[in-house]
Structure 1
Amino acid sequence: MSVTTTTHLNFRGDARAALDYYRSVFGGRVAAVTYKDMGNAQNENEADWVVWGEVAGDNGFHVMAYDVPSHLPWDQGSNPFFVSVRGDATDEISALWQKLAEDSTVVQPLGPSQWAPLYGMLTDRFGVTWVLDVAVPYNG
């Protein structure tokens, strides 16, 4: 038996744009079902919002997202989660960083750290904070 975890991102009207953006960075396929598709659009202005969506790539990247409808409470909050992307190659992580860094706020520039050859943190234009690093074996 195996278990996997997937980061599930909640938005208010930006889920489709976020999924398309993450696909442009990480590759993969976008799947999205709208409230209209489900026949469950309680607010006509939200009919094209995403009730279920994901980006899944052959490289192992997987993120899910949906738009919280206006009749439910939603607050993006401050640092409610980070999305961690770990790779084993500096060139791969550097390339992902360059794409994510566009229109983002850099919290910690990508560079060497005490625990990794590369580590960086940024908050993208959708308010999602990403941590990217190159994984090394733990030697504690």
Structure 2
Amino acid sequence: MSVKSVTHLNFRGDARAALTFYQSVFGGDVAVVTYKDAGDIQEPAEADQVMWGQVTSGNGFHVMAYDVPARLPYHRGETAFFISLRGDAAEEITGYWDKLADGATILQPLGPAQWAPLYGMLTDRFGVTWVVDVVSDYNAS
């Protein structure tokens, strides 16, 4: 079993540009899934925005990013990041979730999602928002 945490940056329409910029700085590969790619279009004007993206490079740099939908609150600089906690075993991730959830505000209960066997989001008792999931291969079909 393994678990990995990475900074997950939040934008309002600028995630693709930010990921491209960070790739130009650190090198590596960019991966982007739009709301349209994931079949999760709730606002047609946001269909081509980034639902999930990342830059990973051989030097160890890794950052994730997405565009916060207009229906959700976003204040640049105040809600600029999440901590993404990803693991390959549901039992391990559930254990971390249960501990983080103590005194937390649950934003999305831990459960199956279209893109992951388990996914959830909470803001812990210290005000840090965690996106927790079990890693799976993305299948756009």
TM-score category (smaller protein) = 0.5 to 0.7
Q: Which residue of 2 aligns with 1:26?
A: 26
| Structure 1: distance between partners of 2:50 and 2:79 | 23
What residue in structure 2 maps to residue 4 of structure 1? 4
Q: What residue in structure 2 maps to residue 37 of structure 1?
A: 37
Please state how far the C-alpha of 1:45 moved relative to its aligned partner: 1.1
Q: Secondary structure at the match of 1:10?
A: strand
Deviations 1:74-105 (A, max 9, x none): 11235967xxxxxxxxxxxxxxxxxxxxxxxx
Query: CA distance change for structure 1 residues 80 and 55 in 2, over 3 Å: closer, same or farther?
Result: closer
Q: Match for 2:19: what amino acid?
A: L
- Structure 1 vs Structure 2 CA RMSD: 1.8
Change over 3 Å in CA distance of 1:80–1:54 after alignment to 2:
closer
The count of aligned residue pairs is 81
What is the alpha-carbon distance in structure 2 between the residues aligned to residue 40 and residue 79 of structure 1?
22
CA distance in 1 between counterparts of 2:66 and 2:79 reads: 18
3-state SS, counterpart of residue 17 of structure 1 = helix
- Please name the residue that 1:62 is paired with: 62
- 1:76 — aligned with what? 76
- Seen in structure 2, the aligned counterparts of structure 1 residues 53 and 80 have a Cα distance that, compared at 3 Å, is closer
Q: When you count strand as a share of all residues, which structure comes out higher?
A: 2
Identity %: 65
Q: Distance in 2 between matches of 1:36 and 1:80?
A: 23
Q: Once the 2 structures are TM-superposed, how far is the Cα of residue 54 of structure 1 from its aligned partner? A: 0.2
Task: Report how far residue 50 of structure 1 moved.
Answer: 0.4
Query: TM-score, normalized by length of structure 1?
Result: 0.53
Gaps of 5+ in 1: 82-140
Of structures 1 and 2, the one with the larger relative CO (CA 8 A, separation 6+) is 2
CA distance in 1, matches of 2:29, 2:62: 10
> TM-score, normalization: structure 2?
0.53
Contact 2:55 2:63 in 1 (8 A): yes
1:35 Cα offset (Å)? 0.4
The reply to whether residue 46 of structure 1 matches residue 49 of structure 2 is no
